[in-house]
Structure 1
């Protein structure tokens, strides 16, 4: 075939009427690439029949999106591979498809090939048809092509899956962060945890930037947060903790632009927020309120509360990753068998601990494959086993997520530890926050002597719970479960005929029952 490479004015390029892609889509990313490195891959065009007195024009066979981006960038010329006819262009497309289907390529080489095909107006679905590779893997491979060399090398040696690469795409412009993520977390759930933490960190940075911008608009002075702010003694005091000469508590919004007042960004690494402060209350004749006096009496209290708040925030970040693991691990009859013995054991020894909060009702239904009521009344033994595991997971998640709140009196430490042990036993990797919580709960505390031996006083302040406690989907106590407004009737728990298969010997026992 005869082909030449020429520099052609993009305004002389005419879209092919037979192009399957009717919507060329957003080309902002392509424009940014062109500004940085130019057009690396020539467009494939064919000559059009010249019209008297008009300039030679060309039909675009491959490269419609590059043509659109070049016009938007107002480029004078673009590199074009001029084929002798449309048939030659089709043969080029065919060769590219065959090249993309080669075997023995590394993941990064495949990713580069797919990225090139996308530049040639191929869709992921077309690449799938040509290579036989699932479309999800094709899309993930394209994400890998955007990552720095460290991530590509990790994928080539099997330390980074394509799924992981897709999650890292958000940080493709930050090579240091990519390196830090790959160093901290191995592939799989460990990496998912550090990615979730990094996303939360990035969101907090963006929040700080927005807060600072708003302070500029409001003409409020921004000062640095004193070291150890929130505990100890400082010249600077929060405006909300001050009273004026008449004993009237100050309104931070009303005084924030007055002399002597400024703003600080509190808790930038956990939950960023603005606090209005007085830089020197004594100089401006303000007195501290009772809250400050209480802080001076117990200077370590605020520090302990700040650490606890940071842990609660980290536990909240870790929870969605843990729920994803639970859904993927136990969301089938086969997967439920991994923890069936633990679920049966809890149902036998402490059925009261199977109470599920409304926030976890959807999770229970997803794991069971259906709403528990009324399906449980006619379900087979295998289905009941799966339902029991679903309820066991929901109850344990309800209990564990209580530690994300300020008041944990209703949380059961033994149940939380047993649940985390069960998850790690089937391959889950605890986040740093979950590891810290586990260590804290494992240590005997001062409150243990005030509780019964089993520590079950934390379960409920109500009278003795019945064994047929139900899942309250919306938390209003009406027994509505997964969209069904009815209380679950007692159902026999399906257990194997051979109880020895439950491996009861040496298993942890939930006390306080």
Structure 2
């Protein structure tokens, strides 16, 4: 298998593909918007025509090819596989079964790419079919030590409570704790409980405070919203206690 660039208009659809149900217009519009913004992230898989043809058949990624054409792209990256006697039907089936959602770190990186291109959190929420609150939550990963992020991207993630504690700490604090608890060859899994415990700070919540917002402002208390709490409750807190 090798990577090459082709004109998407020159590719032929595979009649034996597994995903035959038509996508909704909304889903196609979202995919088109994403391709226009960041291009095709995962190259389609193609193979030479069997039976003496000199063209290429799409084995996986029919929607991506169609929306690339709609986006006006003259060339796209594709992965070229050897021709199969089943016209790629087995590969298509395996890919559909094995396909999983992006992990939170990859989602965050995709979100930050869109933000850099001028997208608002609301627009990203629509494009990715995620609540704005979830977008804000994922963006907390920007506050996480890069070494921790790289490890999280491998699939070893803390739970939400632990991530909240980690993201609320300074990078210097995270760096010191990470030195003590980072993974090793002998123990590749991180004990996130120990990492979070080392960064835990006492919180005072606004809903339980014995003073109002005016007095809090007068004393320089800055409330921070807990994005991991329920959206319908006052989750503001401070660690300045």
Q: In which range does the TM-score fall when normalised by the shorter chain?
A: 0.3 to 0.5
TM-score w.r.t. structure 2 length?
Answer: 0.42
TM-score w.r.t. structure 1 length?
Answer: 0.22
Higher helix share: 1
Point out the structure with max Rg over C-alpha.
Answer: 1
Bigger relative contact order (CA 8 A; separation at least 6): 2
